[in-house]
Structure 1
Amino acid sequence: MAPQSLQSPAPQPSDLPEDMRALDAAASYLDDHDRSQLHKAWRIGAAAHAGQTRKSGEPYITHPVAVARVLAELGLDAETLIAAILHDTIEDTPLDRDDLAAQFGETVAELVEGVTKLDKLKFRDRQEAAAESFRKMMLAMSRDLRVILIKLADRLHNMRTLGSQSREARERIARETLEVYAPIAQRLGMNLVKAELQDLAFKALHPWRYAALEKRIRQQPAVRREAVIQVEAQLAQRLTKEGLKHRLVSRVKSPWSIYTKMRAERKSLEQVMDVFGFRVIVDTVPDCYHALGVAHATFKPLDGRFRDFIAIPKANGYQSLHTVLFGPYGAPIEVQIRTQDMDLVAERGIAAHWTYKQGGDSSSALNRANAWIAGVVESQKATGNSLEFLENVKVELYPDEVYVFTPKGRILALPRSATALDFAYAVHTDVGNNAVTARVDGRLVPLRTRLTSGQTVEIVTAKSAAPQPQWLDYVTTGKARAAIRQRLKQVGHEEAVQLGHRMLEAALERLDSSIERLPAAQLKRYLSDHRYPRLESLLEDIALGNRIPSQVAQHLSTTPDRDGHDTHAVRARDRILVSGNEGGVISFAQCCMPIPYDSIMGYHTTGKGIAVHRSDCRNVSEYRRSPERCVEMGWDPNVTGDYLVGIRVEADNRPGVLAQMASAIAEAASNIDRVDYLDRDNSVATVRFYIEVHTMDHLEEVRRRLRRVAAVHNVERI
């Protein structure tokens, strides 16, 4: 017969103590019956633990209630919460398994019994004993994963209240947490639990180091805050412009993650802290890749730092796109992009399985965890002892190199994270330069696809194909990078030759001549005298500003005089039209930022090509002193491209205004290149935006949109 305490009426919510009311609120997702069972479990547990206290002096029942609250915050089912409240009853109170089964069913009784057996495992320092304990834990997890979830929550609350323990006990428990429980939480995808366990253990082991890092995180310098604001504004407005419904949050590094990175990478605190972290949460998987494209268009990605964990999830079910961008202050920007469901799984791991209310792929994390446990249990049958079993479990899932096959069976070793494009250049430079797509195990995939060991890779080529600048973003090997850069340099040469041809042709036209009508012998003599191996070299030099087109035209259209002649007697007024397709040989001055259709002029700078200025630029009068380097310029009627321009905005200095202005700019189909705060007081902020526009009309549209923002007082071009 059950003890009398099992039969007393359940209390009403208003009669519950404070900790139980907190649990009741956290478990509000349960229905009335389940919550009634939860109250019943508390009543039974409180009666069973009556008179027992923790080392802190609190009633013992506060601990299992706190454990249940941790699980409720993760969205676990009622059976798990009930078992959490009762998890110490079999070992520490007169209640036994049959009592619990009679009141709450076999499942709850089995969970409590499983946790009780797990609690009896003592993690000693001796290697073999620790390995055997680890083996037993894996076997307990294989029967019901909720057993280890309760144990993890139990450990988390113990870590939160570690202060009442002796120093020796604190250090022992903290080491055990870092070596056993945090890694299991990570393997099950429970990143929130893992991160808190690591930080609490770090605090217990190294309190002074923890305090210093925690203070540094809390008191971030103003410069860093400004940088975060600028990055957030640019990302937000670009995502808005693309019509992506999103949630953008900045990520704060934890003391433990900073500490381990400093040790592993031998970096200073400033180097580790000087990294911005953002998470972009969107609705669908296609939106993830769309948002990735937006992020890469906003800031340049760093070489070899993109990881696609959506297409290839981690072993614990984690899915997300990871990329590292080059920020406006030279600091890396770590960006994670995922859906709402992926974010839930990323934070809660297998615990997310009980949170989903609908079907679909909601159980992927749970299935992967169960498959992992099943594989671990199966492997222990083939191992000779616990030490060997432990070593097998700890083997890295991914080696430092991947080994792939060519269609003819040749094996190529590539660095980890290598892509199909790296493979193409490993086969031959020409194969890489002409690559179009790839077949991996017979399936067509993009060239950016990352390879894994054992795959057979075939590259599809085309003679008309050529490397693209974005290829540098997703190759890993030095050979591929060098080959791509060399080919792109050739493409830059071709652009310069085309512009030089236009400039020289315009100069000759003013002298009633053209390149085609020049005497071959005269052109050959000029090239020989100036040591040009071919005409293309001369044209490139003209485009780069190393030769003045009017002077070259005069030399080529007249017979050279041995006694010399005045090269400035006739200066061609060659007018160059900017079309937007000139590449790097034409640049736009940052001092005045011309846009179509400003009145403009060009200035030839040796080795750098033509710099385009507005005719009213303050520097033009200085340039006019070298008329031979000045170029008359205009805009092609069909000019294309985006052009940088600065605008100054005065607005109310209150939270949210920057985001409103960024969204207004995005709605006008413009991009923000950077943001500067010029002046701020308690009421008004002056902000300088550098944005990209197509034409003068486009700039006016941006200004109109900004003026519609209620908090904006004035908008003007810089």
Structure 2
Amino acid sequence: VPGRFKDYISQPKTNGYRSIHTTVSGRDGKRVEVQIRTREMHEVAEAGVAAHWSYREGVRAANPFAVDPAKWIATLTERLDEGDTDEFLEHVKLEMYSDQVFCFTPKGDVVQLPRGATPLDFAYAIHTRIGNSCVSAKIDGIRVPLWTRLKNGQSIEIITAEGQRPQSSWIDIVTTGRAKAAIRRSLREEDRGRFVKLGQELARAAFDHVGKKASDKALRTAAKMLGLADENDLLARLGSAEMPARRVVEILYPELAQAVADEVDHKRPVIGLTADQTFRRANCCQPVPGERIVGITYRGQGVVVHAIDCPALEEFEDQTARWVDLRWEAGRHSPVFTVSLDTTISNDAGVLGRLCTLIGEQKANISDLRFTDRKPDFYRLIIDVDLRDVEHLHMVMTALEAETDVAQISRHRDLTRRP
């Protein structure tokens, strides 16, 4: 139909990868549906996305709209080695039976993705490194959110930044199994490093309680007795609260662990004070049993106990006469040590109630709660919790951090609250 196809070519409508179609009017007024597709589109429409990829009439010719079976199988094998088998099977089924969208890189290369895919899926389809460092994307030159659903024929540009790491919320954004597997792997590696470091501190505190040192050899021995791969695996479990540190001590030193199991007098939980010296915990750092501590003497106020890493100690560096070497009593302490937690939660019905329930399930008591910021979508508040020791603190923080509606949680230290 002369004069009609120019408008159609400039504003095409697509029907997946199978064809490009429109409806035009003939000279006699009748409307006719016209369908146009390239040879590659025709092959995919007639024989499937994996057909005619390798050879056409005996000559190798790649079809940009078809799937390379060898590459597809290679990605499946890679993901099978990395993730959960049930999850792997679920994503393979989704990819096999879902419609496809075809998008383009800025250089014009075709990237095939399942319908519903996002720019994050596109980034991971190009390379895992690009996906992990993705910060934003442009579709046809316009910046869009990462959760935008892609459409056929769009040109996608991925913007990356050094130091960017995958976020846990990305799991709910992406569609492809490749992207989900890469994000989970990165999150596991990041969390593992953090948990190992925290586990080292928890193990040190537990071993100090029985007068022992948490050496690499001791930890390797405990890991072997517990059926774990190595000491890092053991420390990661301690740091993630999957295993209490006292369990490790009980495995290696059962007699010593039994000897220190008695309840500590909460009125005198610190060793290193003279009989006439009184003490109190510093408000700025709120040290708890299991942490390294030091005392600072104040005239008429006794000794104030600080955590060894408290920034407030810098002002006493040239006053060594006021320093007192202290340590916590070994044994089980009463839950009387208040710690403030700086918490950011989503502004939704029932969220605060669930947080209070979680804290109670960890055998901790909320002694105070105050809001510091109120926004339409989130609240920020300080929760004062009474705890036994540093291990109890970690258990509470881990439980809260795992809650979906908790955006951020950290230990609140207020240097303005001096003795």
Scaled by the length of structure 1, the TM-score of the pair is: 0.26
Scaled by the length of structure 2, the TM-score of the pair is: 0.41
More helix by share: 1
| Higher CA-based Rg | 1
